[in-house]
């Protein structure tokens, strides 16, 4: 679940629900640990206020970091859909990968540069601040932005340093896939290092920090591996349109038959997992075997297809000219196994996840991707 909080330069800013968790964890950690340890003698309210303000400004810095990536990406002609703050910091939803190594390098380095500029600003504010509490907050933010920049510059994909490494290898080898594989491999190796350090911390009795390193390592490992797999799939499906692999011969059922008839005469009779629902020439929607399974079997003779179908207006659809890879992404993001294909307001076919997987397997075997 995400909460939209506004737009900056046309980029939607969102907060993931996990951000709320980490906000309270960071505030509690600063209020009960960091500030009392280094700045004793404050009141309890002062510690909690300093913790909350520091956490808000910390994530403000994360937002500036991601916004820097996004603005450079937009300047280089790449659309940025949104920036989401979540439990691990922030992520910019950039529509597509950069088209050249130099653009990748500029986009990657802009985030750490912004963090270092913020660190310098907070250092100056800490030095000039007349109050101990404000000086302590700014000193912490100076330190955390230095750490944020340094951590992101580690050459391990998908960190910024990994993207910088990818840009360098891309420029050298002239091969985007080889560059991505190299950067992803370093990312996986680094993730194992973090996981090992996490288990070592657990053995030392540091429960919270140990678990945190393990979780971050696991997250980085999954991100690095999935990024490379995503690239392989994208290259395998390159040039394929929905029209070239969609099914046009999809049978239909009327909306007034019972679910018992639907199961016996259609799902079992034709061995299909989805049917259009039609009345005369009008297409009303689609009914799938998943819809049927949601209804208890002893109710099948009482309910009709109309009661369980998904109306056409509520369906996610694709165009026959859409890229097959984009169709797969839409299926994945919407957690559906098939998409109706619409052209000029008419339903002309259907594309399933299995269609895409079959195309991916065949092209992978033939062209060696």
Per-residue pLDDT tens over the stretch 95-107: 667 778 888 899 8
CB 294 within 8 A of CB 307: no
pLDDT of residue 156: 85
Token representation of residue 254: 């009327």
Asked if residue 368 has pLDDT above 70, the reply is no
pLDDT band at 211 (very low <50, low <70, confident <90, very high): confident
Domain boundary among 236, 258, 278: 236
Distance CA 334, CA 340 (A): 13
Q: Are residues 79 and 178 in the same domain?
A: yes
Q: Are strands 11-16 and 80-86 parallel, antiparallel or unpaired?
A: parallel
Domain boundary among 203, 236, 269: 236
Which residues make Cβ contacts (< 8 Å) with residue 220, sequence separation at least 6? 156, 158, 159, 187, 190, 191, 194
CB 228 within 8 A of CB 188: no
Which residues make Cβ contacts (< 8 Å) with residue 148, sequence separation at least 6? 61, 62, 65, 89, 112, 115
SS (H, E, C) 44-61: HHHHHHHHHHHHHHHHHH
Distance CA 342, CA 137 (A): 56
pLDDT of residue 369: 52
Q: Are residues 216 and 329 in the same domain?
A: no
pLDDT of residue 88: 60
CB 169 within 8 A of CB 183: yes
pLDDT of residue 118: 95
pLDDT of residue 350: 83
Q: Are residues 204 and 265 in the same domain?
A: no
For position 295, which CATH number holds?
3.10.580.10
Q: Are residues 178 and 217 in the same domain?
A: yes
Number of domains in the chain: 2
Task: Write the DSSP string, 334-363.
Answer: HT-SEEEEEETTEEEEEEEHHHHHHHHHHH
Q: Are residues 109 and 221 in the same domain?
A: yes
Helices 101-128 and 132-152: angle between axes, nearest 10 degrees: 160
Eight-state DSSP code of residue 265: I
Q: Are residues 309 and 336 in the same domain?
A: yes
Q: What's the pTM value of the predicted model, to 2 decimals?
A: 0.73
Tens digits of per-residue pLDDT, 240-294? 888 888 887 777 888 898 999 888 888 887 777 788 888 877 788 888 888 888 8
| Mean per-residue pLDDT, 133-140 | 93
Task: Write the DSSP string, 305-329.
Answer: HHHHSEEGGGS--B-TTSBHHHHHH
Q: Are residues 214 and 252 in the same domain?
A: no
Q: Are residues 68 and 124 in the same domain?
A: yes
Tens digits of per-residue pLDDT, 315-367? 788 888 888 888 888 888 777 777 888 887 777 888 888 888 888 888 777 76
Q: Comparing 69 with 97, which gets the higher pLDDT?
A: 69
Q: Are residues 225 and 268 in the same domain?
A: no
pLDDT above 90 covers what percent of the chain?
20
Query: Which domain covers residue 325, as residue numbers?
Result: 242-367
Domain boundary among 193, 208, 236: 236
Q: Are residues 215 and 288 in the same domain?
A: no
Which residues make Cβ contacts (< 8 Å) with residue 275, sequence separation at least 6? 250, 251, 252, 253, 262, 266, 286, 287, 288
Q: Are residues 128 and 212 in the same domain?
A: yes
């Amino acid at each position: 679940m995400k909460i939209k909080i506004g737009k900056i330069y046309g980029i939607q800013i969102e907060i993931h629900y996990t951000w709320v968790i980490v906000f309270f964890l960071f505030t509690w950690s600063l209020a009960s640990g960091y500030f009392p340890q280094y700045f004793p003698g404050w009141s309890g309210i002062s510690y909690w206020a300093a913790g909350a303000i520091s956490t808000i400004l910390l994530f403000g810095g994360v937002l500036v970091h991601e916004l820097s990536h996004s603005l450079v990406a937009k300047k280089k002609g790449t659309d940025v859909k949104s920036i989401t703050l979540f439990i691990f910091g922030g992520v910019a939803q950039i529509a597509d990968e950069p088209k050249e190594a130099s653009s990748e390098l500029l986009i990657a380095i802009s985030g750490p540069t912004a963090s270092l500029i913020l660190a310098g600003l907070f250092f100056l504010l800490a030095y000039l601040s007349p109050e101990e509490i404000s000086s302590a907050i700014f000193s912490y933010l100076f330190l955390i932005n230095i750490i944020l920049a340094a951590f992101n510059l580690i050459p391990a994909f998908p960190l910024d340093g990994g993207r910088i490494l990818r840009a360098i290898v891309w420029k050298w080898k002239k091969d985007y896939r080889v560059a991505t594989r190299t950067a992803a491999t370093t990312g996986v190796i680094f993730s194992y290092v973090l996981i090992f350090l996490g288990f070592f911390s657990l053995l030392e009795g540091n429960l919270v920090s140990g678990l945190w390193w393990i979780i971050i390592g696991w997250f980085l490992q999954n991100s690095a591996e999935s990024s490379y797999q995503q690239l392989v799939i994208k290259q395998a499906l390159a040039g394929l349109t929905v029209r070239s692999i969609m099914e046009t011969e999809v049978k239909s059922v009327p909306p007034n038959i019972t679910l018992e008839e639907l199961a016996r005469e259609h799902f079992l009779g034709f061995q299909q997992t989805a049917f259009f629902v039609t009345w005369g020439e009008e297409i009303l929607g689609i009914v799938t075997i998943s819809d049927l399974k949601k209804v208890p079997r002893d109710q099948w003779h009482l309910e009709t297809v109309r009661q369980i179908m998904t109306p056409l207006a509520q369906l996610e659809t694709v165009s026959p000219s859409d890229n097959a890879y984009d169709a797969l992404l839409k299926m994945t993001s919407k957690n559906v196994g098939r998409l109706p294909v619409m052209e000029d307001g008419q339903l002309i076919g259907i594309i399933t996840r299995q269609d895409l997987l079959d195309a991916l397997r065949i092209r992978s075997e033939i062209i060696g991707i």
